[in-house]
Amino acid sequence: MIDAISSDQLSTILAQAPSIDQIGALERVARIQARSIKGAAKLQGLRMALSMIDLTTLEGKDSPAKVSQLCYKAQHLHDQADGLPTVAAVCVYPSMVAHAKKALGNSGIKVASVSTAFPSGQAPFEIKKLDTQYAIDNGADEIDMVISRGKFLSGEYHFIFDEIAAIKEICGPIRLKVIFETGELDSLDQVRRISDIAIAAGANFIKTSTGKIQPAATFPVVLTMLGAIKDHFDKTGQMVGMKPAGGISSAKIALHHLLLVKEVLGDAWLTNEWYRFGASSLANDLLMQYQKQLTGKYQSATYFSID
């Protein structure tokens, strides 16, 4: 449960949000992307990134067999090399939660479920609540909800706050990740505004994208969201997690994201308790790069299973 917040308090939070310097954000990101990570530090980063993945399948053709195969892959990444961690979670539609839960067994890998009429969010609120409750009743450990972007873009910020807070109330202790679909937002100021609203409403994680719309998890967007998390932590001492999703398919990009987290938030966020990557193909590139570091040779991409 979250503490109630008044209309005036939310208005104050929004009024106090800083305006984002887009040029400054681009320059800061460029400095991060210019850095090179090698040797033992790269191996450590690759393992860390792998442990932070929400291995995802969110397609109309998803089936119990496809989800089971993905869960098998999630549990057997260490087959590629000694010392590799498992991923953090497998993320599926509510209808596939029970299948994923059974396939993962006692592995310790969490089952995350999208909800609230993912990916569009275009459904009556009663349907969104039922969607969320269904996922929880079938064993979801985490919920990834989408906001009503049309309402947000229309300036109905209190509606968005109430929507997130109501879904969080249904979730209770289950961690809630709130998806903004940043590719539909017009500016970094809007990214900052929705970040502040979601955090105030009780989000445990803020998440860039559904992965269905581009651009998705761009570095300036992620930097802006990390800034909102930092400001909240500085004011309250409460940590909020971050999940970039969409377009993160290479180890190089993932490692630069980790550098950004370290610089803005610090080492405390460099764990899958507070940082996740929403990805379907990232795991394979991390594995390829890890093998390259160990052996000096690249494996063929076909060496690793797609699902």
Catalytic residues, by residue number, are: 144, 207, 243
Q: Which long-range contacts (CB under 8 A, 24 or more apart) does 126-133 make?
A: 128/163, 128/167, 129/166, 129/167, 129/170, 131/94, 132/94, 132/167, 132/170, 132/171, 133/170
Q: Which two tokens stand for residue 112?
A: 């995350």
* Contacts (Cβ under 8 Å, ≥6 apart) of 22: 187, 188, 220
The answer to whether 200 touches 5, Cβ cutoff 8 Å, is yes
Q: Which two tokens stand for residue 279?
A: 């990805």
Report residue 280: phi and psi, to 5°. -115, -35
* Contacts (Cβ under 8 Å, ≥6 apart) of 3: none
Strands (E), the chain: 53-56, 89-92, 110-115, 142-146, 175-179, 205-207, 241-243, 277-279
The SS3 assignment for 261 reads helix
DSSP 268: G
For 134, counting Cβ atoms within 10 Å of its Cβ (0-12 exposed, 13-18 middle, 19+ buried), the class is middle
Point out which residues pair with 245 in neighbouring strands: 278
Q: How far apart are CA 181 and CA 192, in angstroms?
A: 13
